Structures are given as C-alpha cells and as structure tokens.
Amino acid sequence: MIRVVDVSKNYNGRSVLSSLNFSVEPGEFFGIIGPNGSGKSTLLKLLSGVESWGDGQIWLQEKLVSQYKRKDLATWLAVLQQEPLPPVGFRVREVVEMGRYPYQSWLGTEKADSSDMIDDILRTLRLDDLQDRTLEKLSGGEKQRVALAKVLAQQPRLLLLDEPTTYLDIGYQIQLLDTVHRWQRTRQTTVIAVLHDLNLASLYCDRILLLNKGRQIGVGVPEEILRAELIKDVYGIEPIVLDHPVHELPQIMLRSQRE
C-alpha cells in the first residue's frame, strides 16, 4: 500500500530524515518508534501528504502521494493527530459527521445517506449516549474517542495515528488501541502509528520502524526491533527485555541508574 523509497527531508538546511526505505502492506498495523526529535511525526506528515519531502519517493497504491488532490487523498487516508478536535461548542455527533467532508459536495450533501454508518461508529466507540453533548462537557478519554470516531467516519483505507495515547491514562490507552485493532482486523484497514510506549508498540504492531536522529535503524517484527542492545544504542538506557506471559511478545522493564 505504501512504499517509501530513499526519502529525505531538510528544514532550513538541517537534515531531519535521511534515506528512509520501507514499505507497509495492506491490512498491516505498522508502528514508528524512536526518541524525541528522531523525525517520527515529520515522517507521518510526509506520508499523509501534508508536507512535501525532499529527495526520494512516497507511493500510495502505485501513485505518488504528491499526485493526489487533497480531497481525493482524504478518501484514502485519515490522520488522528495529537490535538485533533475543533473548538468547543460542537456536539459529539456534529464532530463525527465532519469526517464525511471528503464525500460531500460544495453544498455539504452526500449522494448516499451516511447516518446509519455514523450510528454504527458511535455505538462501536460507546459514544451513542454522548452524541448530543458538547465537547467541553467531555473527559479527556471521551474526547479522544470522539476524535477517533471522526477519522473512522472518513472510512479510510489507511489510518495514520500520531501518538494517539499521549494524554490518556493506561485504561484509555488500551481501550483506544483495542478499538483501532478490531477496526483494522474487521475492515482490513492499514494502520501506521507513531508510538512513544515501546510496550504498546510490541503488543499491537505487526512490524515496527525504529528511527534515531532521522535515520532508519531497523524495520521488523517486535522481536527483531525491541532487543536490549538496540534499545540501549538508541535510547541510552539498559533495559531488561522479557516475553509477555500471555502474548509472548517482548516487553521492556526499565532499570534505574540510581546508586
């Protein structure tokens, strides 16, 4: 679905991404990890077409991302950003309906009625009882579910997540990623997620791209990327890596450096 070929990006003469090469298969849950400043969010912007790259090529379904018109691209992919919601005052259902914009005419109408699909998404994310509330009356976890509902209403074939769990407690983190994972499996949606939490990346991602200082360190399944020596080289810590007792995937325990 996505092919990244020798892609680099510079800001004001400073390299932020250098010679990236990887592909993401249809229906895959693909993670992007790395320390702060490694270029994760910049890469997501390039994949979404929000920013142009310098050297190289980014292909979406055998067509360069830059060749898509913005509205056409929005029928292909959706982005869940860190600050994704409009100003207060909108009701939950109104916000979710905004996700239908790529399919609407300039009059704001669609060829087919999408109300049943909106109802289904609200039920799936347990927002049906909240659909008439305004955003300022919601908790942080509820707002994040609304933001996810809005991008799912786009019916994307490719879903991009930019650190979706940053402001959530551990309960809401699992709820959100479980929901995305179920949606991915049942709808055959491709997911690319920038994640800070390496343990969550291991549990949910089929494969992981590790970046450091804009360079591609490795791409592979969690067992190949989340190795103690590699984590030490990139993050500067000495972790203890153990297999999850249920999922049998690598999980990282931190070791304090205090005396």
CA distance 123 to 109: 23
CA distance 81 to 151: 10
Query: Would you call 30 helix, strand, or coil by DSSP?
Result: strand
Beta bridge partners of 7: 20
pLDDT at residue 86 in the model: 63
Q: How many CA atoms lie within 13 A of 157 on its CB side?
A: 11
Query: Would you call 31 helix, strand, or coil by DSSP?
Result: strand
Q: What parts of the chain have a pLDDT lower than 70? A: 82-84, 86-88, 105-109, 111, 258-259
Contact 7, 17 (CB under 8 A): yes
CA distances from 63 to 23, 24, 42, 52, 184 (A): 14, 14, 21, 15, 23
CA distance 75 to 78: 8
What is the amino acid identity at position 175?
A: Q
pLDDT at residue 103 in the model: 77
CA distance 56 to 10: 12
Burial classification of residue 256, based on how many CB atoms lie within 10 Å of its CB (0-12 exposed, 13-18 middle, 19 or more buried) = exposed
The structural domains of the chain, ordered by start, are 2-253 (3.40.50.300)
Angle at which helices 115-124 and 140-152 pack, to 10 degrees? 140
pLDDT at residue 145 in the model: 86
- What pTM did the predictor assign? 0.90
DSSP codes of every residue in 56-74: SEEEETTEEGGGS-HHHHH
